[in-house]
Amino acid sequence: MPQREKLYEGKAKILYSTENPDILLTVYKDDATAFNAQKRGQIPGKGEINCQITAALFEWLASEGIPTHYLDCPQPNQMRVKAVSIVPLEVVVRNIAAGSLCRQTGLPEGKVLSSPLVDYYYKSDELGDPLLTRKRIFLLNIITPDKLEEIESMALKINEKLSYFFTQCDITLVDFKLEFGIDSQQNILLADEISPDTCRLWDNKQTDSTARIMDKDRFRKDLGQVEFAYQQVQQRVLTQLNK
Ligand code: UDP
């Protein structure tokens, strides 16, 4: 058993050190939270499913020229990643209005946006992950203008690639959240996860506005069949990648 020390426990994952200081181990949990952890529960099998979906998508994005922190999966719910310093921003890309965009602007859910919208939120549980402006990002010295440009252009490129990929899976990528890290050479790498916990995914094979939901909104809104929906996403993603 390699020596490992728990560095951080988040809502959905635990981060451990490894014998190599440049490598960390992420263990994906079945725990689910929503509304800034006011709603808590478990989705059986979620840890493995989200780890496998993330691994498959990160591997594919890397082959498409997007640098990521992903290395490999020693166990189905465990991922080895390059150690990076996480930029404290939740980078949300939206193609269709849903969730907080509708609540805060009055746009109707399902409205297709004329071009993708990139929103930045401050990663701070204490402050409730508030929406930021570019000027606030620089005011708080979160990141330099150059690096923010780089992150935005990577986020839009990832959106193009993922939207096309999910269309091939008969799934619409409504919106999703990304996190980025900076390595010791100051490279920006895609980090964290891409899974039904962090994306809104609508099943193109379903017309009903509830039946089509394949993501964490099933948990947020108590729609049931959460595990089944996550399994469906995993199956379609892996099949599309011939895995
Ligand atoms: N999201 C996330 N983590 C967060 C907040 C949002 O992964 O802490 C994802 C969420 O699953 C959705 C997208 O980011 O795919 C946009 O979320 P939104 O701002 O609409 O917030 P919500 O409606 O989830 O409160």
* Domain ranges, ordered by start, for the chain: 6-82, 85-225
Q: What is the mean pLDDT of residues 62-82?
A: 98
- pLDDT for position 2: 59
Return the ligand 1 atom nearest residue 198 CA: 7
- Atom 3 in ligand 1: residue holding the nearest Cα: 198
- Atom 21 in ligand 1: residue holding the nearest Cα: 100
Which of these, 92, 236, 227, lies nearest to 167 by C-alpha position? 236
Q: What is the mean pLDDT of residues 118-136?
A: 97
Return the ligand 1 atom nearest residue 101 CA: 20
Which class is domain 85-225? Answer: alpha beta
- In tens, the pLDDT along 30-69 reads 999 999 899 999 999 999 999 999 999 999 999 999 999 9
Place domain 6-82 in its CATH homologous superfamily.
Phosphorylase Kinase; domain 1 (3.30.200.20)
Q: How many CB atoms lie within 10 A of CB 57?
A: 25
Distance CA 51, CA 65 (A): 21
Percent of the chain with pLDDT over 90: 98
Site of tokens 């990521």: 68
> In testing the pocket of ligand 1, which one of 43, 96, 120, 175 has its CB within 8 Å of the most ligand atoms?
175
Pocket flag, ligand 1, residue 100 (CB < 6 Å): yes
The Å distance, Cα 87 to ligand 1 centre, comes to 17
- pLDDT for position 203: 98
Pocket flag, ligand 1, residue 29 (CB < 6 Å): no
